[in-house]
Amino acid sequence: MFVNYNNSIVNLACSILKYFGADSEHSTLKEVDELLKAQYKNVVVLLLDGLGIDILKHNLSENSFFRKNLLKEYSSVFPPTTTSATTSMESGLTPLEHGWLGWSLYFSEINKIVNAFINTEKDTELQAEEYHVASKIIPYKSIYEKIRAAGSAEAYSVSKFGSNKIETFDELTNEVERLCATSEKKYIYGYWEYPDSLMHMVGSYNSQVTDNIKELEERVATMCNRLSDTLVIVTADHGHCNVKYYILSDYPKLFNMLKRPTSVETRAIAFYIKDEYLDDFRAEFHNNFGDDFLLYSKEEVIKKNIFGTGKMHPKFEEFIGDYLAVAISDKGIVYSQESKQFISNHAGMTEQEMNIPLIAISRK
């Protein structure tokens, strides 16, 4: 399924920006705008990594706290993965605009494929450079800066790497409570890496995942009961599905066509092709993987607005390579035996990965 960029996590961010008097680049979510007419002192967005609609419904009953407060289902961005979706949530921009397209990106400035968030080289533990490569080369203005610049409110990020750093989920909910108790008008974004981190290791439908989600739900419910004059929105960056992998080095004819290793994600794969194979690559790819992936040329990716609308980031064309393969089944493609193969993953074009919840809890 293609993203509806008028009904996505980008639009949630734009509703937040609008509420706090800041400019935004895209349309807002009317359901959220309607809720915000109540003029809350605190607006909290809590993002639970990987808690897509499919995962939510599989693990929680209809009368559970999250499902009873489910306002609507809406969409992640493409690719539905943490790097692109949380950056959209933290900027109000589409991936086309902000450039943080996926886990690993090729930077010609240093001729390396870099894991954008953690600043390591692809499939290694090696630090890419002494500086943080992605932050330096593809910076963006954050939603926090935009809200503060508008002048009527404060803005905070509560996570392991936010403005307000925490290590445990209890610390996260306690910090949100503490901030909400202050008198200023404010926006608070809280990020937690579960259940995603667990699903990568044990699969989407493991009982450990059910236990984890129920525990997170219970703690969020407890937190909400202690708040006042606050709107809490619980959402996700993407969903999940169990995945099996093709290893590209097992396909020597295709492997030989590559100019460099693959990048972006295992279910949204950028291919850089040697000039002499540009015309042959599509047929060879379809022969091997055609049932499980859609293959787009760079021109087709741009024409179809797959990564969103807006002003194209100067690095975008380089990042997507010559061809982009998009998963439409339960398969991924890794570069070699050294590449990680998570049991459950995301970044493809299935509803499981793309559909996310908008859960709203009002505490007036």
User: What number is the average pLDDT over the span 235-263?
Assistant: 98
pLDDT at 316: 98
The pLDDT value recorded for residue 335 is 96
- Average per-residue pLDDT for the chain: 97
Q: How far is CA 50 from CA 54, 63, 249, in A?
A: 10, 21, 29
Please state, in angstroms and rounded to a whole number, the distance separating the CA atoms of residues 271 and 297.
10
348: Cα within 13 Å, side-chain hemisphere: 24
CB atoms within 10 A of CB 181: 12
pTM: 0.97
User: What are the backbone angles phi and psi of residue 345, rounded to the nearest 5°?
Assistant: -150, -170
Give the residue range(s) of CATH 3.40.720.10 domains in the chain. Answer: 9-100+140-240+350-363
Query: Do residues 106 and 135 touch, judged by C-beta distance below 8 A?
Result: no
- pLDDT for residue 347: 98
Give tens-digit pLDDT for 295-313: 999 999 999 999 999 999 9
Residue 240 is predicted with a pLDDT of 98
- Other residues' Cβ atoms within 10 Å of the Cβ of residue 314: 10
Parts of the chain belonging to CATH 3.30.1360.180: 244-341
- Please report the pLDDT score of residue 47 as a whole number: 98
Q: What is the pLDDT of residues 28-39, one digit of tens each?
A: 999 999 999 999
Q: What is the CA radius of gyration of the chain?
A: 20
Scanning the structure block, which residue is given the tokens 């960029």? 5
Separation between Cα atoms, residue 51 and residue 54, nearest integer Å: 8
Predicted confidence (pLDDT) at residue 1 exceeds the cutoff of 90: no
Share of the chain above pLDDT 70, in %: 100
> So what CATH class is 9-100+140-240+350-363?
alpha beta
What is the C-alpha separation between 53 and 131, in angstroms, rounded?
37
pLDDT reading at 54 higher than 90: yes
Does 244-341 carry CATH code 3.90.25.10? Answer: no
Spatial separation of the C-alpha atoms in residues 149 and 339, rounded to whole Å: 42
Tokens representing 322 are: 């010559």
Q: Mean pLDDT over residues 230-242, rounded? A: 98
Residues 260-296 pLDDT 10s: 999 999 999 999 999 999 999 999 999 999 999 999 9
- The per-residue pLDDT for range 61-118, each reduced to its tens digit, is 999 999 999 999 999 999 999 999 999 999 999 999 999 999 999 999 999 999 999 9
Q: How many residues does the chain have?
A: 364
pLDDT at 325 exceeding the cut of 90: yes
Q: How confident is the model at residue 337 (pLDDT cuts 50, 70, 90)?
A: very high
168-199, pLDDT tens digit by residue? 999 999 999 999 999 999 999 999 999 999 99
What is residue 336's predicted lDDT score, i.e. its pLDDT?
95
Q: For residue 176, what are its two tokens?
A: 């949100």
Average pLDDT of span 216-228 = 98
- What's the average model confidence in pLDDT over 117-144? 97
Token pair in block for residue 297? 């040329």
3-state secondary structure the chain: CCCCCCCEHHHHHHHHHHHCCCCCCCCCCHHHHHHHCCCCCEEEEEEECCCCHHHHHHHCCCCCHHHHCEEEEEECCCCCCHHHHHHHHCCCCCHHHHCCCCCEEEECCCCEEEECCCCEECCCCCECCCCCHHHHHCCCCCHHHHHHHHCCCEEEEEECCCCEECCCHHHHHHHHHHHHCCCCCEEEEEEECCCHHHHHHHCCCCHHHHHHHHHHHHHHHHHHHCCCCEEEEEECCCCCEECEEEEHHHCHHHHCCECCCCEECCCEEEECECHHHCCCHHHHHHHHHCCCEEEEEHHHHHHCCCCCCCCCCCCHHHHHCCEEEEECCCEEEECCCCCCCCCEECCCCCHHHHEEEEEEEEEC
**How confident is the model at residue 86, as a pLDDT?**
98
